[in-house]
Amino acid sequence: MRRVRCNSPIPQLRKFLFTFRAECDTITRMRFVKVGKTLKPVAIFIFLSLFCAYSAECTANGTWLPRVRFSGFLGELVIYLTAIAVVWLISGRMWSAFLSVWAFSFIFACVSWFKYSARGTGLRVFDLKYAITIIGLSGTDNLNFSGIMVWIAVFALAFTLILKKNKKLIAMFTIERKFIARRWVSGAAALMMFLPVINKGAFWFDFISSAEVVTAEIDDPDDAVPALSNVPYVSKTSEEYFLNKLDEVEALYSSEEPAETPDVIIILSESFWDFSTTPSVKLSEEITPNFNALKSEGHSGVMMSRTFAGGTCGVEYEVLTGNIIRYIGIQDISYDTMVTVPTETLATLFKRRGYDTIAMHSYDGAFYGRDKAFPLMGFDSFITREDMRDAPISGRFISDSYITDRIIAELDAPRESADYLSAAPKFIFAITMENHQPYDANRYDATEVALLDTEMPDKLRSAVQTYAQGIKNADAALKQLTDYLRERERPTVVLFFGDHQPFLAPEYGLYRYTGQMTSRSALTAEQAESILSVPFLIWSNYKSGAEDSGIVSCAGLGNELLNYIGGAKPLWYVYQDYVREYEFIYDSREILFIDAQGNISDKRVLQLNESARVYNRLQSEWLSGDGAIYDRLKADR
């Protein structure tokens, strides 16, 4: 029987399906391999960027669990991703890209931690311009190194060695020589994309100080006040609204012409503060006997500074202008950013009244841009360390006694008029330096003040004794000036105040020892009020009688001086009288608010948000130097 072959399609179909399945498996495996090859470098990029961002936060805040805003951290991560990619594309080596970006960020994070532990604020962009000068002024004895820095450095070096020695990783991130032109073009393109971020000021070191204590600046530089966003927006309200507001203020106050046109002296005494009033600090003698005695002859009180342990130029600016820097919305607290055009100040006011206006600082004139800003602020001349070549040094800086001698010399310098009493009066603004940090041991050849507290740590003890001697010297210089002025025939007014409390030992060593502060990361409004308070005194050789002026803000101190002198003054200062009497005393720091009744809190009362917005708008008009509102604010009332 003959068999007939059956040409069934089933075996052929099976073979086709088997072959097709094998091909699909091969393709799938290849795709997974390709995806894996793509995901690996991306994952490594993200990991290295996360490490840079996290290590910077940990280093800058001194803790493994830093408090950060998600949006800020995300922006920081994008910057690190871009920076590592740019350096890798240009250099062609991942290990060098990671190490260079991490090292750059780590150095600035360490500096930010040193500043944060001293002042409660992290590193800012403007600090970089004056970095060498700031380090010279601050010294290195009190740098507060942390174990976190060491561990992070160990981890970073370990990651670098892995990237450099692992052959697979080297091959993964190696860019062939034939692609060198493409590599440089890609790096340049990435850098160009990165520049807009830099122009917006979104540097990584603006993100690493997110857990600030005493100070908190407004992030948005626009004319709004972002912190006051829970009330209707007023800053773009019609001009008529604010003119009517000024009418209401003007109707409440009147002025009389002063009997005298005195010479006026303002002395900003570096870090002047009588800490002997703190119960746990016992000294061998009173360190401010002259200042305390003069209180019975003039007006005195407490000035709430806008800063702690540094940032003198911000204090100068608020005292001279009456402007609240927080409302301006800038982070760079230097004259380079605050004063770039002619600005209304006490100096411009006195200059319009015929005064010779003189600024004086016993340090470099270019520091924080004072040499360029002071002429724009109405000063005819600026005397600096460069003009004090023969000045005696007390400790590390020019002595306060010498500054007193220069003030006296300027007061009695030859005047245009032959009649001494009828010659043009003078307005002098002097900034001292003798008691600037660092308060290292053996700073003075001999110290007259001894610390009686035997339990205080040795390093803190030596800093306190050095600081106390500096305060005693500043007090003696004040007596030297007032003794001279008592014999002077021409009427003279002196405003004397400290700019801020001092930095005494890392992480607020003295303040934690005395109980003024319990934790640097959990500062209450009451503790902030304690460490931001400094004394002030207004004294003259032609008035008598003591008056307690209570609490005055940094921005309101200049107005306090004008009130003491008496007479008409620009409506801008009359408005400050209104604000202090009816609305608030202090609103320069986010953590501290003091209302018109002197109540202290860490939050602004809701109905006063509108007051702050009005102040902000009027201040912006005052700064503009033009317009109907500015003209009203400038006019004497």
Q: Do both 443 and 374 map to the same domain? A: yes
Q: What is the 3-state secondary structure (H, E, C) of 289-338?
A: HHHHHHHHHCEEEEEECCCCCCCHHHHHHHHHHCCCHHHHCCCCCCHHHH
* Secondary structure (3-state) at 82: helix
- CATH for 325: 3.40.720.10
Segments forming the whole domain that contains residue 386: 262-412+423-634
Collapsing DSSP to helix, strand or coil, 161 comes out as: helix
Q: Please report whether residue 2 resides in a domain.
A: no
Instruction: Indicate whether 28 belongs to any domain.
Output: no
User: Is 610 in contact with 597 (CB distance < 8 Å)?
Assistant: no
In the listed set 207, 233, 251, which residue is the last one of a domain according to the structure?
207
375, 358 in Cβ contact below 8 A?
no
Q: Within this chain, do residues 195 and 268 fall inside the same structural domain, yes or no?
A: no
Whether 513 and 385 map to the same domain: the answer is yes
pLDDT tens, position by position, 589-626: 878 889 899 888 877 665 567 788 888 889 989 988 88
The verdict on 183 and 266 lying in the same domain is no
Q: Do 201 and 267 lie in a common domain?
A: no
Sheet bearing 381-383, strands edge to edge: 381-383, 356-361, 426-431, 263-269, 492-498, 533-540, 299-304, 547-553
The last residue of one of the domains, among 207, 223, 248, is 207
CA-to-CA distance for 632 and 628, rounded, in angstroms? 6
Phi/psi of residue 11, each to 5°? -60, -40
For 277, the enclosing helix (H) or strand (E) is none
**Number of Cβ atoms within 10 Å of the Cβ of 503:** 25
Q: Residues near 330 by Cβ (< 8 Å), separated by ≥ 6?
A: 217, 221, 337, 338
Residue 545 lies in a domain: yes
HSE-CB for 537 with a 13 A CA cutoff = 25
If asked whether residues 300 and 379 sit together in one domain, one would say yes
Distance in angstroms (rounded) separating the CA atoms of residues 297 and 300? 9
Report yes or no on 388 lying in a domain: yes
* Contact criterion met (CB below 8 Å) for 456 and 512: no
Q: How far is CA 572 from CA 29, 552, 635, in A?
A: 76, 17, 8
Whether 202 and 269 map to the same domain: the answer is no
Is residue 445 domain-resident? Answer: yes
Please state, in angstroms and rounded to a whole number, the distance separating the CA atoms of residues 382 and 216: 31
> pLDDT tens digit string along 271-312?
999 876 676 788 888 999 999 999 999 999 999 998 888 889
Q: Are residues 295 and 163 in the same domain?
A: no
Q: Is 206 exposed, middle or buried (0-12, 13-18, 19+ CB in 10 A)?
A: buried
Residue that finishes a domain, picked among 174, 190, 207: 207
> Does residue 430 sit in the same domain as residue 508?
yes
In this predicted structure, what is the pLDDT of residue 274? 81
How far is it, in rounded angstroms, from Cα 251 to Cα 468?
A: 47
What's the alpha-carbon Rg for the chain, to the nearest Å?
32
Co-location of 195 and 278 in the same domain: no
Pairing state of beta strands 299-304 and 547-553?
parallel
CB 83 within 8 A of CB 94: no
Are 190 and 290 members of one domain? Answer: no
Half-sphere exposure of 486 (CA within 13 A, CB side): 9
Answer yes or no: is 113 within a domain: yes
DSSP 355: -
3-state secondary structure at position 566: coil
Residue 22 falls within a domain, yes or no? no
**pLDDT value for 124:** 64
**What are the structure tokens assigned to 522, written together?**
């959990």
Strand, coil or helix: 278: coil
Residues 266, 203 share a domain: no
* Contact status, residue 431 vs residue 361, Cβ threshold 8 Å: yes
Q: How many alpha carbons fall within 13 Å on the CB side of residue 432?
A: 34
* 75 falls within a domain: yes
Task: Judge residue 237's burial from the number of C-beta atoms within 10 Å of its C-beta, 0-12 exposed, 13-18 middle, 19 or more buried.
Answer: middle
State which residues of the chain have pLDDT below 70.
1-38, 115-144, 174-237, 276-277, 279, 330-333, 414-422, 506-507, 519-522, 604-608
Q: What is the pTM of this model?
A: 0.76
Number of independent structural domains in the chain: 2
Rounded to whole angstroms, how far apart are CA atoms 446 and 609? 52
